[in-house]
Amino acid sequence: MRIGITCYPTYGGSGIVATELGLELADRGHDVHFITYANPIRLDPYIPRIHYHEVEVSNYPLFQYPPYCLALASRMAEVAENYKLDLLHVHYAIPHSMSAYMAKQMLAAKRRLPFVTTLHGTDITLVGMDPSYFGITKFSIEQSDGVTSISEDLRRHTVETFGVENEIRVLHNFVNCETYAPDPEKQGRSRFAGEGQKLLIHLSNFRPVKRVLDCIRILAEVRKHEDAKLLMVGDGPDRTQAEHLAAQLGVADHVEFLGKQNNVQRLIRIADVLLMPSEMESFGLAGLEAMACGVPVVGTRVGGVPELITPGVDGFLEAVGDVSGQSVRVLEIVENPDVQRAMATAARRTAETRFATERIIPMYEGYYAEVLGR
Ligand code: GMT
């Protein structure tokens, strides 16, 4: 198949899923065309069957807001025609789904260009619910030739919120279990943690929904019992506040802010526990990546996370904001080598048996075939 993929190319779960999907599809022999405003961070355009088409948005002085949505639609239609795309697959409804709808209409007189929209979370639970985007989000979901959701919880939420009646297929997020694999030697750990020191990690875009301040509070609690250090990977609006809080709680020397990183598996696999204290998480991709690396997650019981983590088996889930509950769970893991070993093994097994690329990617291929009527 010839597939056009559009996503946000910056650091963020939806862009990462879209990029990994494109790479896996190319590996399986499909031609994949990324149509985005910048090269997606995990994309190497040198890879065979991967193509990259940049969307340029001209900024005429009259425009207070450059019309990205229109530039994207034009580029989508152009690429679809020139490269004979079979379909478009857009990640994150706003505004990608609407641009795909316009591209489809632009080509309608000549040919059919179906599009699949994948819902990732905040496009529905936050942005899409804003009154200024509600109507257009509902419309673009209804007009999509196929809609997928990365969790059952998000599917249910979408149906309840928007009252849409078209089928939404749940295709969970996936992980490449070869790239994300445990390292029994935990190579490179000594660069970050001293002998006997416990190592916690958090990975996100540091938006308020991630509750990064809770990570700092959890570390401070854990340190009352164990010598522990926290790696904060990523960047975003709440980073400065988190740095201040670390100083205020007297743990600044034990928190390392590493900023945006590529090849995060190298960092995840050296840790003992991944913290995911989010307010909302429609899936929790960072959690899955950690599980594949054999690193148990201590997170919150929200959104689609319970579809990923079975508490007490391959991780722990507590209520949002329950710092003390999450700290106790971290200690339960790091102070009991048997618990840590059993959870690490179970986490890896969950990733392999339920969320490995080999299992999920064929579901996307099957879904495309359905949408194309093949
Ligand atoms: O979490 C974010 O702020 C980024 C957001 C995105 O769309 O880039 O992540 C969403 O999509 C990820 C990939 O499907 C999911 O793993 C995240 O759970 C989801 N985030 C939220 O629901 C808050």
Q: Using the predicted structure, report yes or no on whether residue 333 has a pLDDT greater than 80.
A: yes
Residue 6, CA distances (Å) to 43, 69, 76 in order: 13, 12, 9
Q: Which residues line ligand 1 (CB under 6 A)?
A: 12-15, 17, 92, 120-122, 150, 173, 205, 207, 209, 280-285, 303
- Report percent pLDDT > 90 for the chain: 91
Sign for the CA dihedral angle at 241, 242, 247, 253 comes to negative
- Report percent pLDDT > 70 for the chain: 100
Per-residue burial over 12-38, b = 16 or more CB atoms within 10 Å of its CB, e = otherwise = bbbbbbbbbbbbbbbbeebbbbbbbbe
The pLDDT-based confidence of 46 (bands split at 50, 70, 90) is confident
Q: What is the pLDDT of residue 56?
A: 94
Pocket test for ligand 1, best of 10, 14, 97 (most atoms within 8 A of CB): 14
Q: What is the pLDDT of residue 184?
A: 93
Q: What is the pLDDT of residue 125?
A: 80
Cis ω before 9 (30° cut-off from 0): no
CA of 281 to the centre of ligand 1 (A): 6
Q: What is the pLDDT of residue 229?
A: 98
CB 293 within 8 Å of CB 265: yes
Containing 96, the helix (H) or strand (E) segment is helix 96-107
Q: What is the pLDDT of residue 138?
A: 95
Q: What is the pLDDT of residue 372?
A: 97
pLDDT tens-digit profile of 176-192?
Answer: 999 999 999 999 999 99
pLDDT tens-digit profile of 77-136?
Answer: 999 999 999 999 999 999 999 999 999 999 999 999 999 999 998 888 878 788 999 999
Return the SS3 of 169: strand
pLDDT tens-digit profile of 154-168?
Answer: 999 999 999 999 999
Q: What is the pLDDT of residue 83?
A: 98
Mean pLDDT calculated for residue range 351-359: 98
Q: What is the pLDDT of residue 252?
A: 98
Q: Using the predicted structure, report yes or no on whether residue 11 has a pLDDT greater than 80.
A: no
The pLDDT-based confidence of 362 (bands split at 50, 70, 90) is very high
CA of 17 to the centre of ligand 1 (A): 10
Q: What is the pLDDT of residue 42?
A: 81
The pLDDT-based confidence of 59 (bands split at 50, 70, 90) is confident
**Structural domain boundaries in the chain:** 2-174+357-372, 189-354
Same fold for the pair 2-174+357-372 and 189-354: yes
Q: What is the pLDDT of residue 146?
A: 98
Q: What is the pLDDT of residue 61?
A: 87
pLDDT, the chain, mean: 96
- State which fold the 2-174+357-372 domain adopts: Rossmann fold (3.40.50)
Q: What is the pTM of this model?
A: 0.95
Quick one: which of 142, 174, 170 has its CA closest to 156?
170
Q: What is the pLDDT of residue 317?
A: 98
Q: What is the pLDDT of residue 262?
A: 86
Pocket test for ligand 1, best of 283, 289, 291, 317 (most atoms within 8 A of CB): 283
Q: Using the predicted structure, report yes or no on whether residue 43 has a pLDDT greater than 90.
A: no
- State which fold the 189-354 domain adopts: Rossmann fold (3.40.50)
Strand pairing partners for 31? 2
